[in-house]
Amino acid sequence: MHRSHRAAGALVGSAVGDALGAPFEFGPPGRFSARFPTPARGTHTEMCGGGSSGEEPGEFTDDTQMALLVASSLVERGGLDEADLFDRFRTWAAADPPGIGDQIRAVLGSGLPWDTAAAEHFARSGHAAGNGSLMRTTPAAIRFARDGRGASMDAARRISALTHGDPSAGEGCAVFHELVRVALDGGDPLAAIPAALESVAGEHRDRWATVLAPDWTPEDATESNGAVWPTLGEAVWALRHGRDFAEVLRLVIDLGGDTDTVACVAGGLAGAVYGMGGIPMRWASVVHGRVPGSGERVWRLADLQQLGAALDGGARQSYDPGVIPRIGPREVLPGIWAGNLDGARYSEQDFAVISLCRLGEPFPHPLHRMAYIADDEHNADLDAMLADVLDDMAALRAEGHRLLVHCHGGASRTGLVLRAWLVRERGMTVDEATAHVAERWEHLGLWNDSFTAALQRLQAGPRPG
Ligand SMILES: [Mg+2]
Protein backbone atom coordinates (compact mmCIF):
# COMPACT_ATOMS: atom_id res chain seq x y z
CA MET A 1 0.00 0.00 0.00
CA HIS A 2 1.26 3.49 -0.77
CA ARG A 3 2.07 5.58 2.29
CA SER A 4 -0.29 8.23 0.89
CA HIS A 5 -3.25 5.84 1.38
CA ARG A 6 -2.28 5.51 5.05
CA ALA A 7 -1.74 9.25 5.64
CA ALA A 8 -5.11 10.11 4.12
CA GLY A 9 -6.64 7.13 5.92
CA ALA A 10 -5.41 8.40 9.30
CA LEU A 11 -6.81 11.90 8.85
CA VAL A 12 -10.08 10.80 7.25
CA GLY A 13 -10.38 7.89 9.68
CA SER A 14 -10.21 10.19 12.68
CA ALA A 15 -12.89 12.52 11.26
CA VAL A 16 -15.06 9.52 10.35
CA GLY A 17 -14.75 8.14 13.89
CA ASP A 18 -15.66 11.52 15.36
CA ALA A 19 -18.77 11.86 13.17
CA LEU A 20 -19.79 8.23 13.62
CA GLY A 21 -19.44 8.30 17.40
CA ALA A 22 -21.02 11.72 18.03
CA PRO A 23 -24.67 10.56 18.07
CA PHE A 24 -23.82 7.97 20.73
CA GLU A 25 -21.92 10.27 23.10
CA PHE A 26 -22.56 9.59 26.79
CA GLY A 27 -24.93 6.77 25.93
CA PRO A 28 -24.89 3.31 27.47
CA PRO A 29 -22.69 0.52 26.12
CA GLY A 30 -23.96 -1.42 23.13
CA ARG A 31 -26.21 1.26 21.69
CA PHE A 32 -24.49 1.40 18.31
CA SER A 33 -24.87 -2.33 17.66
CA ALA A 34 -28.41 -2.31 19.04
CA ARG A 35 -29.36 0.33 16.49
CA PHE A 36 -27.24 -1.12 13.68
CA PRO A 37 -26.98 -4.88 14.17
CA THR A 38 -25.82 -5.25 10.55
CA PRO A 39 -24.10 -2.81 8.16
CA ALA A 40 -26.53 -0.05 7.12
CA ARG A 41 -25.74 0.39 3.42
CA GLY A 42 -28.82 2.03 1.93
CA THR A 43 -29.67 5.73 1.79
CA HIS A 44 -29.55 5.91 5.57
CA THR A 45 -26.34 4.60 7.09
CA GLU A 46 -24.77 4.44 10.53
CA MET A 47 -23.81 8.08 9.95
CA CYS A 48 -27.09 9.08 11.53
CA GLY A 49 -26.36 12.52 13.02
CA GLY A 50 -28.31 14.01 15.88
CA GLY A 51 -25.65 14.10 18.56
CA SER A 52 -25.69 16.42 21.55
CA SER A 53 -25.08 19.43 19.31
CA GLY A 54 -27.60 18.38 16.66
CA GLU A 55 -24.97 17.28 14.15
CA GLU A 56 -25.98 16.43 10.59
CA PRO A 57 -25.30 12.88 9.41
CA GLY A 58 -21.55 12.72 8.77
CA GLU A 59 -20.81 16.01 10.52
CA PHE A 60 -17.70 15.99 12.69
CA THR A 61 -17.43 17.73 16.07
CA ASP A 62 -14.96 19.77 18.13
CA ASP A 63 -12.40 16.94 17.98
CA THR A 64 -11.89 17.29 14.24
CA GLN A 65 -12.35 21.04 14.35
CA MET A 66 -9.33 21.31 16.63
CA ALA A 67 -7.44 18.75 14.53
CA LEU A 68 -7.99 20.93 11.47
CA LEU A 69 -6.61 23.93 13.36
CA VAL A 70 -3.51 21.89 14.20
CA ALA A 71 -3.22 20.74 10.59
CA SER A 72 -3.67 24.19 9.10
CA SER A 73 -1.11 25.74 11.42
CA LEU A 74 1.47 23.02 10.74
CA VAL A 75 1.04 23.30 6.97
CA GLU A 76 0.86 27.09 6.76
CA ARG A 77 3.68 27.75 9.23
CA GLY A 78 5.86 24.99 7.83
CA GLY A 79 6.14 23.26 11.21
CA LEU A 80 5.24 23.75 14.85
CA ASP A 81 4.62 27.38 15.80
CA GLU A 82 3.06 27.14 19.24
CA ALA A 83 2.04 30.81 19.50
CA ASP A 84 0.30 30.63 16.11
CA LEU A 85 -1.49 27.41 16.99
CA PHE A 86 -2.59 28.73 20.38
CA ASP A 87 -3.95 31.83 18.63
CA ARG A 88 -5.97 29.65 16.27
CA PHE A 89 -7.32 27.65 19.21
CA ARG A 90 -8.32 30.89 20.96
CA THR A 91 -10.11 32.30 17.93
CA TRP A 92 -12.00 29.03 17.63
CA ALA A 93 -12.94 28.95 21.32
CA ALA A 94 -14.13 32.55 21.13
CA ALA A 95 -16.62 31.49 18.42
CA ASP A 96 -18.24 29.28 21.10
CA PRO A 97 -18.08 25.96 19.27
CA PRO A 98 -20.66 23.45 20.49
CA GLY A 99 -19.13 20.55 22.38
CA ILE A 100 -15.97 22.37 23.50
CA GLY A 101 -14.66 20.76 26.67
CA ASP A 102 -14.69 22.68 29.96
CA GLN A 103 -10.96 22.42 30.48
CA ILE A 104 -10.09 23.63 27.00
CA ARG A 105 -12.56 26.48 27.31
CA ALA A 106 -11.05 27.54 30.64
CA VAL A 107 -7.47 27.49 29.33
CA LEU A 108 -8.22 29.24 26.04
CA GLY A 109 -10.47 31.80 27.69
CA SER A 110 -8.03 32.67 30.46
CA GLY A 111 -6.38 35.54 28.60
CA LEU A 112 -2.96 34.16 29.55
CA PRO A 113 -0.24 33.68 26.90
CA TRP A 114 0.35 30.37 25.16
CA ASP A 115 3.28 29.29 27.27
CA THR A 116 1.62 29.71 30.67
CA ALA A 117 -2.17 29.35 30.23
CA ALA A 118 -2.37 25.56 30.49
CA ALA A 119 0.24 25.28 33.24
CA GLU A 120 -1.60 27.89 35.34
CA HIS A 121 -4.85 26.02 34.90
CA PHE A 122 -3.26 22.73 35.95
CA ALA A 123 -1.59 24.30 38.95
CA ARG A 124 -4.92 25.71 40.11
CA SER A 125 -7.23 22.78 39.29
CA GLY A 126 -4.94 19.76 39.56
CA HIS A 127 -7.08 18.13 36.87
CA ALA A 128 -5.86 18.26 33.29
CA ALA A 129 -5.61 14.71 32.02
CA GLY A 130 -8.68 14.76 29.79
CA ASN A 131 -8.58 13.31 26.29
CA GLY A 132 -8.94 16.73 24.63
CA SER A 133 -5.36 16.95 23.38
CA LEU A 134 -5.21 13.31 22.24
CA MET A 135 -8.34 13.72 20.11
CA ARG A 136 -6.76 16.38 17.88
CA THR A 137 -3.24 15.08 17.43
CA THR A 138 -3.57 12.86 14.35
CA PRO A 139 -2.49 15.65 11.94
CA ALA A 140 0.65 16.26 13.99
CA ALA A 141 1.33 12.52 14.14
CA ILE A 142 1.33 12.48 10.32
CA ARG A 143 3.35 15.69 10.00
CA PHE A 144 6.17 14.65 12.33
CA ALA A 145 6.30 10.94 11.52
CA ARG A 146 9.13 11.31 9.01
CA ASP A 147 11.23 13.09 11.65
CA GLY A 148 11.51 9.90 13.69
CA ARG A 149 10.32 8.69 17.06
CA GLY A 150 11.97 11.23 19.34
CA ALA A 151 11.04 14.33 17.35
CA SER A 152 7.48 13.15 16.78
CA MET A 153 6.87 12.30 20.44
CA ASP A 154 8.35 15.64 21.48
CA ALA A 155 6.06 17.56 19.12
CA ALA A 156 3.09 15.65 20.56
CA ARG A 157 4.00 16.76 24.09
CA ARG A 158 4.45 20.39 23.08
CA ILE A 159 1.10 20.60 21.28
CA SER A 160 -0.69 18.85 24.12
CA ALA A 161 0.84 21.26 26.64
CA LEU A 162 -0.86 24.21 24.95
CA THR A 163 -4.15 23.21 26.60
CA HIS A 164 -3.28 20.32 28.93
CA GLY A 165 -0.89 21.20 31.73
CA ASP A 166 -0.84 17.64 33.00
CA PRO A 167 2.08 15.84 31.31
CA SER A 168 0.06 12.60 31.48
CA ALA A 169 -1.97 13.87 28.54
CA GLY A 170 1.18 14.77 26.63
CA GLU A 171 2.67 11.32 27.19
CA GLY A 172 -0.52 9.77 25.80
CA CYS A 173 -0.27 11.95 22.70
CA ALA A 174 3.39 10.98 22.38
CA VAL A 175 2.55 7.26 22.44
CA PHE A 176 -0.19 7.82 19.88
CA HIS A 177 2.27 9.65 17.61
CA GLU A 178 4.68 6.75 17.77
CA LEU A 179 2.01 4.16 16.95
CA VAL A 180 0.83 6.22 13.96
CA ARG A 181 4.45 6.69 12.83
CA VAL A 182 5.02 2.95 12.77
CA ALA A 183 1.69 2.32 11.01
CA LEU A 184 2.45 4.90 8.29
CA ASP A 185 5.72 3.06 7.67
CA GLY A 186 3.70 -0.11 7.11
CA GLY A 187 4.61 -1.64 10.48
CA ASP A 188 2.40 -3.08 13.20
CA PRO A 189 1.60 -0.41 15.79
CA LEU A 190 0.69 -3.05 18.39
CA ALA A 191 4.18 -4.52 18.13
CA ALA A 192 5.59 -1.00 18.58
CA ILE A 193 4.00 -0.45 22.00
CA PRO A 194 6.93 -1.71 24.11
CA ALA A 195 9.39 0.58 22.32
CA ALA A 196 6.98 3.50 22.58
CA LEU A 197 6.65 2.91 26.33
CA GLU A 198 10.41 3.06 26.72
CA SER A 199 10.26 6.62 25.41
CA VAL A 200 7.56 7.64 27.88
CA ALA A 201 8.75 9.72 30.82
CA GLY A 202 9.62 7.39 33.70
CA GLU A 203 7.06 8.59 36.22
CA HIS A 204 4.24 8.03 33.68
CA ARG A 205 5.40 4.74 32.19
CA ASP A 206 3.66 2.24 34.50
CA ARG A 207 0.26 3.80 34.11
CA TRP A 208 0.53 3.80 30.33
CA ALA A 209 1.92 0.27 30.26
CA THR A 210 -1.12 -0.89 32.20
CA VAL A 211 -3.76 0.39 29.74
CA LEU A 212 -1.75 -0.62 26.67
CA ALA A 213 -1.05 -4.19 27.83
CA PRO A 214 -2.36 -6.97 25.55
CA ASP A 215 -4.65 -8.33 28.27
CA TRP A 216 -6.11 -4.96 29.33
CA THR A 217 -9.82 -4.57 28.62
CA PRO A 218 -12.14 -1.57 28.96
CA GLU A 219 -13.63 -3.15 32.12
CA ASP A 220 -10.25 -2.62 33.74
CA ALA A 221 -10.45 1.15 33.32
CA THR A 222 -10.21 3.13 36.54
CA GLU A 223 -11.60 6.38 35.09
CA SER A 224 -14.36 7.27 32.63
CA ASN A 225 -13.19 7.43 29.03
CA GLY A 226 -13.17 11.20 29.14
CA ALA A 227 -9.71 10.72 30.66
CA VAL A 228 -6.69 10.25 28.45
CA TRP A 229 -5.61 6.77 29.68
CA PRO A 230 -8.78 4.79 28.93
CA THR A 231 -9.28 6.73 25.69
CA LEU A 232 -6.01 5.51 24.21
CA GLY A 233 -6.35 2.18 26.00
CA GLU A 234 -9.75 1.56 24.42
CA ALA A 235 -8.60 2.65 20.97
CA VAL A 236 -5.65 0.25 21.13
CA TRP A 237 -7.84 -2.52 22.56
CA ALA A 238 -10.25 -2.10 19.62
CA LEU A 239 -7.39 -2.10 17.11
CA ARG A 240 -6.17 -5.33 18.70
CA HIS A 241 -9.55 -7.05 18.50
CA GLY A 242 -11.19 -5.60 15.37
CA ARG A 243 -10.65 -7.37 12.04
CA ASP A 244 -11.05 -4.25 9.91
CA PHE A 245 -11.64 -0.50 10.16
CA ALA A 246 -15.40 -0.83 10.53
CA GLU A 247 -15.13 -3.38 13.32
CA VAL A 248 -12.59 -1.31 15.24
CA LEU A 249 -15.01 1.61 15.25
CA ARG A 250 -17.99 -0.55 16.16
CA LEU A 251 -16.06 -1.93 19.14
CA VAL A 252 -15.14 1.46 20.56
CA ILE A 253 -18.49 3.15 19.98
CA ASP A 254 -20.23 0.22 21.67
CA LEU A 255 -18.23 1.00 24.81
CA GLY A 256 -20.34 4.12 25.31
CA GLY A 257 -19.21 7.22 27.17
CA ASP A 258 -17.16 9.77 25.21
CA THR A 259 -17.81 7.92 21.96
CA ASP A 260 -16.92 10.64 19.46
CA THR A 261 -13.50 11.20 20.96
CA VAL A 262 -12.61 7.56 21.54
CA ALA A 263 -13.76 6.71 17.99
CA CYS A 264 -11.82 9.69 16.65
CA VAL A 265 -8.62 8.39 18.25
CA ALA A 266 -9.31 4.80 17.20
CA GLY A 267 -10.20 5.97 13.69
CA GLY A 268 -6.90 7.81 13.32
CA LEU A 269 -4.95 4.71 14.31
CA ALA A 270 -7.07 2.27 12.29
CA GLY A 271 -7.02 4.59 9.28
CA ALA A 272 -3.21 4.56 9.32
CA VAL A 273 -3.24 0.77 9.50
CA TYR A 274 -5.96 -0.05 6.95
CA GLY A 275 -5.54 3.00 4.70
CA MET A 276 -8.13 5.06 2.88
CA GLY A 277 -9.40 2.01 1.02
CA GLY A 278 -10.25 0.26 4.29
CA ILE A 279 -12.72 2.93 5.36
CA PRO A 280 -16.27 1.98 4.28
CA MET A 281 -17.21 4.30 1.45
CA ARG A 282 -20.63 5.02 2.92
CA TRP A 283 -18.87 6.64 5.90
CA ALA A 284 -16.00 8.45 4.18
CA SER A 285 -18.29 9.87 1.49
CA VAL A 286 -20.44 11.88 3.88
CA VAL A 287 -17.91 13.15 6.41
CA HIS A 288 -17.91 16.96 6.55
CA GLY A 289 -17.96 19.97 8.84
CA ARG A 290 -17.03 23.58 9.49
CA VAL A 291 -14.49 25.07 11.88
CA PRO A 292 -16.12 27.84 13.96
CA GLY A 293 -14.16 31.08 13.84
CA SER A 294 -12.53 30.16 10.52
CA GLY A 295 -15.17 31.30 8.06
CA GLU A 296 -17.84 29.37 6.26
CA ARG A 297 -15.63 26.84 4.53
CA VAL A 298 -17.05 23.32 4.58
CA TRP A 299 -14.44 20.58 4.84
CA ARG A 300 -15.25 17.43 2.90
CA LEU A 301 -13.61 14.14 2.07
CA ALA A 302 -11.44 15.47 -0.76
CA ASP A 303 -10.21 18.36 1.42
CA LEU A 304 -9.21 15.96 4.18
CA GLN A 305 -7.42 13.69 1.71
CA GLN A 306 -5.45 16.61 0.31
CA LEU A 307 -4.61 17.83 3.78
CA GLY A 308 -3.37 14.35 4.71
CA ALA A 309 -1.06 14.44 1.69
CA ALA A 310 0.19 17.92 2.58
CA LEU A 311 0.95 16.85 6.16
CA ASP A 312 2.79 13.79 4.86
CA GLY A 313 5.07 16.06 2.88
CA GLY A 314 3.35 16.24 -0.48
CA ALA A 315 2.52 19.48 -2.20
CA ARG A 316 -0.81 20.92 -1.21
CA GLN A 317 -2.43 21.20 -4.59
CA SER A 318 -6.09 21.40 -5.34
CA TYR A 319 -7.06 18.73 -7.82
CA ASP A 320 -8.45 20.12 -11.05
CA PRO A 321 -9.44 17.37 -13.47
CA GLY A 322 -9.93 19.90 -16.27
CA VAL A 323 -12.78 19.82 -18.75
CA ILE A 324 -13.23 16.48 -20.46
CA PRO A 325 -15.78 15.54 -23.12
CA ARG A 326 -18.76 13.96 -21.45
CA ILE A 327 -19.40 10.26 -21.84
CA GLY A 328 -22.75 8.97 -20.64
CA PRO A 329 -24.64 8.42 -18.58
CA ARG A 330 -26.05 5.43 -20.37
CA GLU A 331 -27.92 2.43 -18.95
CA VAL A 332 -25.53 -0.50 -19.39
CA LEU A 333 -27.11 -3.03 -17.03
CA PRO A 334 -30.71 -2.90 -15.80
CA GLY A 335 -30.89 0.03 -13.40
CA ILE A 336 -27.14 0.63 -13.58
CA TRP A 337 -25.79 3.42 -15.74
CA ALA A 338 -22.21 4.24 -16.65
CA GLY A 339 -20.32 7.40 -17.50
CA ASN A 340 -17.07 9.28 -17.21
CA LEU A 341 -16.33 12.10 -14.77
CA ASP A 342 -18.21 14.91 -16.47
CA GLY A 343 -20.91 12.59 -17.74
CA ALA A 344 -21.66 11.86 -14.10
CA ARG A 345 -21.11 15.38 -12.81
CA TYR A 346 -23.79 16.84 -15.06
CA SER A 347 -26.23 13.94 -14.81
CA GLU A 348 -29.71 14.14 -13.32
CA GLN A 349 -29.52 14.53 -9.57
CA ASP A 350 -31.79 11.64 -8.72
CA PHE A 351 -29.04 9.20 -9.67
CA ALA A 352 -27.31 7.48 -6.79
CA VAL A 353 -23.75 8.16 -7.96
CA ILE A 354 -20.88 5.75 -7.29
CA SER A 355 -17.62 7.62 -7.94
CA LEU A 356 -14.43 5.65 -8.44
CA CYS A 357 -12.05 8.56 -9.09
CA ARG A 358 -11.11 11.95 -7.71
CA LEU A 359 -13.68 14.61 -8.51
CA GLY A 360 -12.39 18.15 -8.11
CA GLU A 361 -15.47 20.19 -7.20
CA PRO A 362 -18.12 18.22 -5.28
CA PHE A 363 -21.14 16.91 -7.18
CA PRO A 364 -24.63 18.26 -6.41
CA HIS A 365 -26.19 14.79 -6.13
CA PRO A 366 -27.67 14.17 -2.66
CA LEU A 367 -26.88 10.45 -2.82
CA HIS A 368 -23.22 10.10 -3.64
CA ARG A 369 -20.64 7.48 -2.66
CA MET A 370 -16.92 7.81 -3.29
CA ALA A 371 -14.75 4.72 -3.37
CA TYR A 372 -10.97 4.83 -3.12
CA ILE A 373 -9.88 2.48 -5.85
CA ALA A 374 -6.71 3.40 -7.73
CA ASP A 375 -6.27 2.31 -11.34
CA ASP A 376 -2.91 0.71 -10.57
CA GLU A 377 -1.50 -2.30 -8.71
CA HIS A 378 -1.32 -0.61 -5.31
CA ASN A 379 -4.78 -1.00 -3.81
CA ALA A 380 -4.48 -2.27 -0.25
CA ASP A 381 -7.21 -4.87 -0.34
CA LEU A 382 -8.99 -4.67 -3.65
CA ASP A 383 -11.30 -7.59 -2.82
CA ALA A 384 -12.61 -5.88 0.31
CA MET A 385 -12.98 -2.54 -1.47
CA LEU A 386 -14.86 -4.14 -4.33
CA ALA A 387 -17.15 -5.98 -1.92
CA ASP A 388 -17.86 -2.70 -0.13
CA VAL A 389 -18.87 -1.05 -3.42
CA LEU A 390 -21.00 -4.00 -4.58
CA ASP A 391 -22.75 -4.31 -1.20
CA ASP A 392 -23.66 -0.62 -1.22
CA MET A 393 -24.84 -0.86 -4.83
CA ALA A 394 -27.05 -3.84 -4.00
CA ALA A 395 -28.59 -2.00 -1.04
CA LEU A 396 -29.26 1.13 -3.09
CA ARG A 397 -30.72 -0.90 -5.97
CA ALA A 398 -32.97 -2.70 -3.50
CA GLU A 399 -34.33 0.70 -2.48
CA GLY A 400 -35.16 1.36 -6.14
CA HIS A 401 -32.45 3.89 -6.94
CA ARG A 402 -30.98 4.28 -10.41
CA LEU A 403 -27.23 3.84 -10.00
CA LEU A 404 -24.62 5.73 -11.96
CA VAL A 405 -21.14 4.18 -11.81
CA HIS A 406 -18.31 6.30 -13.13
CA CYS A 407 -14.60 6.97 -13.01
CA HIS A 408 -12.44 9.57 -14.77
CA GLY A 409 -12.54 7.97 -18.20
CA GLY A 410 -15.42 5.55 -17.67
CA ALA A 411 -13.22 2.70 -18.88
CA SER A 412 -11.16 0.67 -16.42
CA ARG A 413 -12.53 1.17 -12.90
CA THR A 414 -16.09 1.57 -14.18
CA GLY A 415 -15.61 -1.63 -16.16
CA LEU A 416 -14.26 -3.41 -13.11
CA VAL A 417 -17.37 -2.62 -11.07
CA LEU A 418 -19.85 -3.41 -13.85
CA ARG A 419 -18.20 -6.75 -14.52
CA ALA A 420 -17.93 -7.55 -10.82
CA TRP A 421 -21.64 -6.84 -10.45
CA LEU A 422 -22.41 -9.42 -13.14
CA VAL A 423 -20.06 -11.99 -11.64
CA ARG A 424 -21.48 -11.61 -8.16
CA GLU A 425 -25.14 -10.81 -8.75
CA ARG A 426 -25.75 -12.89 -11.88
CA GLY A 427 -23.22 -15.66 -11.43
CA MET A 428 -21.43 -14.97 -14.72
CA THR A 429 -17.85 -16.04 -15.32
CA VAL A 430 -15.31 -13.26 -15.78
CA ASP A 431 -15.22 -13.91 -19.53
CA GLU A 432 -19.00 -13.82 -19.82
CA ALA A 433 -19.21 -10.64 -17.78
CA THR A 434 -16.47 -8.97 -19.82
CA ALA A 435 -18.18 -9.87 -23.10
CA HIS A 436 -21.55 -8.73 -21.74
CA VAL A 437 -20.25 -5.30 -20.72
CA ALA A 438 -18.09 -4.86 -23.85
CA GLU A 439 -21.18 -5.34 -26.05
CA ARG A 440 -23.04 -2.59 -24.22
CA TRP A 441 -20.27 -0.18 -23.21
CA GLU A 442 -17.64 0.39 -25.88
CA HIS A 443 -15.52 2.44 -23.43
CA LEU A 444 -14.65 -0.64 -21.37
CA GLY A 445 -10.91 -0.70 -20.59
CA LEU A 446 -9.16 -3.97 -19.76
CA TRP A 447 -5.58 -2.88 -19.16
CA ASN A 448 -5.41 -3.34 -15.38
CA ASP A 449 -4.30 -6.93 -14.68
CA SER A 450 -4.87 -6.56 -10.93
CA PHE A 451 -8.54 -5.88 -11.69
CA THR A 452 -8.80 -9.05 -13.81
CA ALA A 453 -7.19 -11.02 -10.98
CA ALA A 454 -9.70 -9.58 -8.48
CA LEU A 455 -12.58 -10.58 -10.72
CA GLN A 456 -11.23 -14.11 -10.95
CA ARG A 457 -11.04 -14.31 -7.14
CA LEU A 458 -14.62 -13.01 -6.98
CA GLN A 459 -15.73 -15.70 -9.42
CA ALA A 460 -13.99 -18.36 -7.31
CA GLY A 461 -16.16 -17.39 -4.35
CA PRO A 462 -15.70 -15.97 -0.91
CA ARG A 463 -12.30 -16.13 0.67
CA PRO A 464 -11.90 -18.58 3.53
CA GLY A 465 -12.36 -16.95 6.91
MG1 LIG B 1 -16.54 15.97 20.25
For 80-103, how does the pLDDT look when each residue is reduced to its tens digit (9 = 90+)? Answer: 999 999 999 999 999 999 989 888
Alpha carbons 139 and 176: distance in angstroms, whole number:
11
CA 309, 315, 318, 319 torsion-angle sign:
negative
pLDDT at 334 over 50: yes
- In angstroms, what is the span from residue 98 Cα to ligand 1's centroid? 9
Task: Report phi then psi at 394, rounded to 5.
Answer: -65, -40
The pLDDT mean for the chain works out to 95
Alpha carbons 357 and 133: distance in angstroms, whole number:
34
- In angstroms, what is the span from residue 20 Cα to ligand 1's centroid? 11
Quote the DSSP letter at residue 41.
Answer: -
Contact 393, 42 (CB under 8 A): no
Q: Give the residue-averaged pLDDT of 362-387.
A: 93
Share of the chain above pLDDT 70, in %: 98
pLDDT at 463 over 80: no
pLDDT at 316 over 80: no
How do residues 171-197 score in pLDDT, each as one tens digit? 999 999 999 999 999 999 999 999 999
Bond into 98 cis (ω within 30): no
**Confidence at residue 465, expressed as pLDDT on a 0 to 100 scale:** 45
Extract the annotated binding site.
61-63, 258, 260-261
Task: Report phi then psi at 186, rounded to 5.
Answer: 90, 5
- In angstroms, what is the span from residue 275 Cα to ligand 1's centroid? 23
* pLDDT category of residue 319 using cuts at 50, 70 and 90: confident
How do residues 23-47 score in pLDDT, each as one tens digit? 999 889 999 999 999 999 999 999 9
List the domains of the chain with CATH numbers.
3-311 (1.10.4080.10), 330-460 (3.90.190.10)
- In angstroms, what is the span from residue 425 Cα to ligand 1's centroid? 40
* pLDDT category of residue 322 using cuts at 50, 70 and 90: confident
* Residue type at 335 in one-letter notation: G
- In angstroms, what is the span from residue 63 Cα to ligand 1's centroid? 5
Alpha carbons 459 and 423: distance in angstroms, whole number:
6
Question: Structure pTM?
Answer: 0.96
**Confidence at residue 323, expressed as pLDDT on a 0 to 100 scale:** 80
Burial of 59 (0-12, 13-18, 19+ CB in 10 A): buried
- In angstroms, what is the span from residue 257 Cα to ligand 1's centroid? 11
Contact 406, 340 (CB under 8 A): yes
Q: How many residues does the chain have?
A: 465
pLDDT at 201 over 80: yes
Instruction: Kindly write down the DSSP assignment for every residue of 170-195, as one continuous string.
Output: HHHHHHHHHHHHHHHTT--TTTTHHH
Extract the annotated binding site for Mg(2+).
61-63, 258, 260-261
- In angstroms, what is the span from residue 403 Cα to ligand 1's centroid? 34
How do residues 335-360 score in pLDDT, each as one tens digit? 999 999 999 999 999 999 999 999 98
Percent helix, strand and coil across the chain, each rounded to 5?
55, 5, 40
Q: 50: left (phi > 0), else alpha (psi -120 to 50), else beta?
A: left
Instruction: Kindly write down the DSSP assignment for every residue of 214-279, as one continuous string.
Output: TT--GGG-SS-TTBHHHHHHHHHHHHHH-SSHHHHHHHHHTT-SSHHHHHHHHHHHHHHHH-GGGS
- In angstroms, what is the span from residue 385 Cα to ligand 1's centroid? 29
**Confidence at residue 401, expressed as pLDDT on a 0 to 100 scale:** 98
**Confidence at residue 315, expressed as pLDDT on a 0 to 100 scale:** 64
Task: Please tell me the number of Cα atoms within 13 Å of 19 on its side-chain side.
Answer: 29
Radius of gyration of the chain (CA): 22
- In angstroms, what is the span from residue 438 Cα to ligand 1's centroid? 49
- In angstroms, what is the span from residue 289 Cα to ligand 1's centroid? 12
- In angstroms, what is the span from residue 256 Cα to ligand 1's centroid? 13
pLDDT at 155 over 70: yes
Alpha carbons 104 and 100: distance in angstroms, whole number:
7
- In angstroms, what is the span from residue 453 Cα to ligand 1's centroid? 42
How do residues 43-86 score in pLDDT, each as one tens digit? 999 999 998 888 999 999 999 999 999 999 999 999 999 999 99
- Point out which residues pair with 338 in neighbouring strands: 330, 405
Higher pLDDT, 316 or 251: 251
pLDDT at 3 over 60: yes
- In angstroms, what is the span from residue 210 Cα to ligand 1's centroid? 26
- In angstroms, what is the span from residue 346 Cα to ligand 1's centroid? 36
- In angstroms, what is the span from residue 282 Cα to ligand 1's centroid? 21
Q: Give the residue-averaged pLDDT of 421-438.
A: 97
- In angstroms, what is the span from residue 64 Cα to ligand 1's centroid? 8
**Confidence at residue 378, expressed as pLDDT on a 0 to 100 scale:** 85
- In angstroms, what is the span from residue 261 Cα to ligand 1's centroid? 6
- In angstroms, what is the span from residue 18 Cα to ligand 1's centroid? 7
- In angstroms, what is the span from residue 61 Cα to ligand 1's centroid? 5
Contact 184, 269 (CB under 8 A): no
- Point out which residues pair with 424 in neighbouring strands: none
Residue (of 111, 107, 165, 163) closest to 135 by Cα position: 163
b/e code 419-445 from CB counts within 10 Å (16+ = b):
bbbbbbeeebebeebbebbeeebebbb
pLDDT at 107 over 60: yes
- In angstroms, what is the span from residue 13 Cα to ligand 1's centroid? 15
How do residues 377-420 score in pLDDT, each as one tens digit? 888 789 999 999 999 999 999 999 999 999 999 999 999 999 99
Share of the chain above pLDDT 90, in %: 91
